[in-house]
Amino acid sequence: MNINFEKISSNEAYFAMVQTIIPRPIAWVLTQNNNQTYNLAPFSFFTGICSDPPLVMLSAGKKPSGNEKGQNKDTRQNIIDDEYFVIHIASTDQLKDLNNTAATLDYGQSEITANNIELTDFKIDENNQFKLPRIKNCPVAIACKLHRIDEIGNTAQAVIYGEIKAMYINDKAINLDNKTRLEVDSKKINPLAKLGGPYYSALGETFKVIRPK
């Protein structure tokens, strides 16, 4: 099948993209609402883009349904207002909670409270703490501050660039035998990946291939 994207709708383009650009990592993003509650939502248009400064990128649109249909998604609005956010990399045993937090709620309603998700302080180092907490049982958490936002597309999709300020990695996933650089065991993180529609994927078999010089 060949698809001419100039002859299909934006919905048809979306479904073709999300079912073929796979697997996608999922940014499970915690932000703070203006009533001091916490918002939590997953985004699969997400990746790392730079190391100097260390930047990640995620894309967030408008609410697709509910009482606030057409307004900015809460994550997007909170980052505009507050600048700080925490990206989590969920493991496969957190699929139920992650999927539940994809529900469209009115602004100020907390997915953390609704799903009884436990949080903990996010330590940057021994003497400093990040402004926001992290999910306690998530294997990876990335503390970010807004670098910039670009609005693109015909429906003003927000491309959000976040500068990494700190990172938490579960000690069990770190190879302490490697003394030369950080080595993380991806199998022990067991990350969720997004496919098209309602489908997700686990990590599956991994391969080691040495890059040529």
pLDDT digits (tens, 9 = 90+) for 177-188: 877 889 999 999
Q: What is the pTM of this model?
A: 0.94
Residue 77: which residues within 8 A CB-CB, separation 6 or more? 71, 107
3-state per-residue secondary structure call for the chain: CCCCHHHCCHHHHHHHHHCCCCCEECEEEEEECCCCCEEEEEECCEEEEEECCEEEEEEECECCCCCCCCCECHHHHHHHHHCEEEEEECEHHHHHHHHHCCCCCCCCCCHHHHCCCCEECCECCCCCECCCCEECCCCEEEEEEEEEEEEECCCCEEEEEEEEEEEEECHHHECCCCCCCCCECHHHHCECEECCCCCEECCCCCCCCCCCC
Structure tokens at 182: 């950080």
Which pLDDT tens digit goes with each residue over 73-123? 999 999 999 999 999 999 999 999 999 999 989 999 999 999 999 999 999
Tens digit of pLDDT for each residue in 153-211?
888 899 999 999 999 999 999 988 877 889 999 999 999 999 999 999 999 898 889 99
Class of the CATH domain delimited by 24-201 = mainly beta
List the domain boundaries for the chain. Answer: 24-201
Are 71 and 82 in contact by the 8 Å Cβ rule? The answer is no
In this predicted structure, what is the pLDDT of residue 178? 76
Which tokens hold the place of 94?
């957190």
